[in-house]
Amino acid sequence: MSAQQLPPRLTRAIAFPGQAAPPVRMVHLGLGAFHRSHQAWYTHHAGDAAEWGIAAFTGRSPGAAEILAEQDGVFTVVERSGAGDSFEVIGSVVEAVDGADVQRLAELVAAPGTAVVTLTITEAAYAATGDGTPLARLVTALAARKNADAGPIAVVSCDNLAGNGTVARTAVETIADAADPALGEWIRAKVSFVSTSVDRITPRTTPDDLAEVSEQCGYRDESAVVAEPFSNWILSGDFPGGRPRWEDAGAIFVDDIEPYENRKLWLLNGAHSILAYAGLVRGHSTVAEALSDDVCRAAVEAFWDEASRHLPGEGLDIPGYRQALLERFGNSRIAHHLTQIAMDGTTKLRMRALPVLAAERAQGRSGEGAARMIAAWLAYVCATDGFQDPLADDIRTAKTHDGEQRTAALLALISPGLAGDSALLSLIHRQQEAIAAARTHA
């Protein structure tokens, strides 16, 4: 097909003819597929969406911003279920910017009309240090807002961390205090930090997905995202400068978010980690494939049984939530790749496995299900060098040891106390060996 025969590139004029783009009142750090399928989707579906445009900044590289900017910020969400695919153009992102452009970030955060900053910067980024980190750039932008006397603003963490708003506050205030104590005091007085629990399975978009959008929609969209029909957003905190009416799209606002956070972190994200590490060792590539493996499925169920004992609270409906997760994970049309989930294991296991392990052992039980998640990670990193982790160099150093000494060295990277517990060390070492012995599935 010649260039003249290609369908047109998606733009705002094609998607929303005659409609002006909403004004920028939100800034997002971490432009990626999940932001587009979740926070941008919710903002597009808010009843007052015409008043809330998003300026989104990339994290690691400018590529996503460059591609999206060529489309005026608009993109397609492909909702994929067993019944087929549906397509919707989302128009809430009105500016896509290279994350390295701190000057533009500062200008936008300092603008009086900007009321909300949202974050999807990955769990590891909250502990990262240095001038170029996302939170360091945010502090620079908040300093510009202070100098402009632009008023209060809300920072909303949408990363998979327990108490993510509190974690964000601590990190931001620490950076600000070191740079300028007066800035730290201003942040304490003028910046609210909102905690959230976010949920929508969003696998990486493939060339086949982009081709399907072109064929079905009649335009080319290089920023399309694929997502499951299910979505969930629970928020807790104040918005002193206002916010979109996300509740119109199904978002829920609560006073105590911890039970919902733990339900999501342990049952969904914890199961994902088990399926990723055990599944990859056993030769699988997607969540649906790993779930169909009886060994992986049994490991998930055993961990869920342990975690469920520590999820009290009305309205959580743990049995229903577990059943819904099995149905979502089993959606073979969503190719959620295990290598994507397996990244940053040392950070994720601290939030997904360790709390359940500690709670079980505090009640006199072995915590075998939570320990197996850690053992699966050990088996995975010992079987490959192709992993991404903030402690990757330390992992490779630990792998130079043998036997239980190697297990202890790797466990110490997650929590030094694990390596010092001889009974737990022995249990995890045995589990790791059993997982490693089954390198390929039947």
Can you read off the two tokens belonging to residue 360? 């079980």
Question: Is the predicted pLDDT of residue 1 greater than 50, yes or no?
Answer: no
Q: Write down the pLDDT at residue 442.
A: 44
Residue 81 DSSP code: E
Q: What are the chain's domains?
A: 3-255 (3.40.50.720), 259-437 (1.10.1040.10)
The arithmetic mean of pLDDT across residues 138-158, rounded, is 98
Closest CA to 121 of 24, 234, 34: 34
Q: Write down the pLDDT at residue 6.
A: 87
CB contact at 8 A, 213 and 198: no
Choose between 439 and 61: higher pLDDT.
Answer: 61
Q: Write down the pLDDT at residue 128.
A: 85
* pTM for this prediction: 0.88
The arithmetic mean of pLDDT across residues 154-176, rounded, is 96
Residues 6+ apart with CB under 8 A from 409: 397, 398, 401, 419
Can you read off the two tokens belonging to residue 46? 């808010």
Confidence of residue 303 (pLDDT cuts 50, 70, 90): very high
Query: Based on C-alpha coordinates, what's the Rg of the chain?
Result: 22
* Strand arrangement of the beta sheet that strand 75-81 belongs to: 84-90, 75-81, 225-227
The arithmetic mean of pLDDT across residues 117-123, rounded, is 95
The string of pLDDT tens digits covering residues 2-61 is 455 789 999 999 999 999 999 999 999 999 999 999 999 999 999 999 999 999 999 878
The arithmetic mean of pLDDT across residues 289-317, rounded, is 94
Q: Which residue's entry shows tokens 């896509």? A: 96
Q: Write down the pLDDT at residue 441.
A: 47
Distance between CA atoms of residues 303 and 371, nearest Å? 9
* Strand arrangement of the beta sheet that strand 252-253 belongs to: 93-97, 53-57, 24-29, 116-119, 153-157, 191-199, 232-236, 252-253
Q: What is the mean pLDDT of the chain?
A: 95
Q: Write down the pLDDT at residue 235.
A: 98
Distance between CA atoms of residues 163 and 195, nearest Å? 6
Q: Write down the pLDDT at residue 4.
A: 58
The string of pLDDT tens digits covering residues 79-91 is 999 889 999 999 9
Q: Write down the pLDDT at residue 440.
A: 55
Question: Is the predicted pLDDT of residue 299 greater than 80, yes or no?
Answer: yes
Choose between 217 and 60: higher pLDDT.
Answer: 217
For 441, phi then psi, to 5°, come to -85, 160
Percent of residues, the chain, with pLDDT higher than 70: 98
Q: Which residue's entry shows tokens 């590289």? A: 61
